[in-house]
Amino acid sequence: MSNIRHTLRFPSYRNLQIYHALACQSWTQTALAEELGISQRRVSQIGQQVRAWVDRILKPREFAGQEGLRFHLAIARERIRLRDAYEPLVEMFAGPDGFPRLLRRRLSVVGGEALQTVEVSDQPDFRLLNQAIDVASRQTQLEAIANRGPFADLPSQVRRTIVHQHAGSAQESACNADAAHEMNPLTGCQQNHGGGVLPVNSPAP
């Protein structure tokens, strides 16, 4: 059970660097172990752990048999996932005056009427703030790894757009067609393959 839990953790920055050397720079496990002063068995364990993380994010057919490309595509997807999940959260902490703010939404009953209340506080939730800081650090690490591979700019590029449209009545379709020129056709669709925004534990190198 301990080995299964080990492979489910997010790889540390050092372990990502080690796997990059194995998958992209053709280092052997023995040579890398000597360079880092660790055992060849430990290098093998790190390689298996990072590969398991990559395989959870990517489908088997994506760059099948090309471990370096699979690794960097997984890095790009994780960068996009963290960006999309945490940019709105980070923005909540900055008010117009530059001071931290926190928004809380709650339902309350006022005068016999149920109301949705938005509460603005200048005392931020430090648990969420610390998590946002951790994500920013993770993003910096992922970017550093990505800059060594072919997909460094992929998270900021849009070269393919998929629009999902639910079937409606013919009348609705006609009305939508008349107003189509006024709408932005770029509807982004990003699937979360990471299993969570930020895993709590990271393995020791």
Query: Dihedral sign, CA of 11, 14, 18, 20?
Result: positive
Write out the two tokens for 155.
């998270």
User: pTM (2 decimals)?
Assistant: 0.61
3-class state of residue 133 by DSSP: helix
Task: Residue 11: name the closest of 20, 86, 153 by CA.
Answer: 20
**What confidence score (pLDDT) does residue 136 get?**
84
Look-up of token digits 């610390």: 130
Domain ranges of the chain: 2-94+125-164
3-34, pLDDT tens digit by residue? 434 334 689 999 999 999 999 999 999 999 99
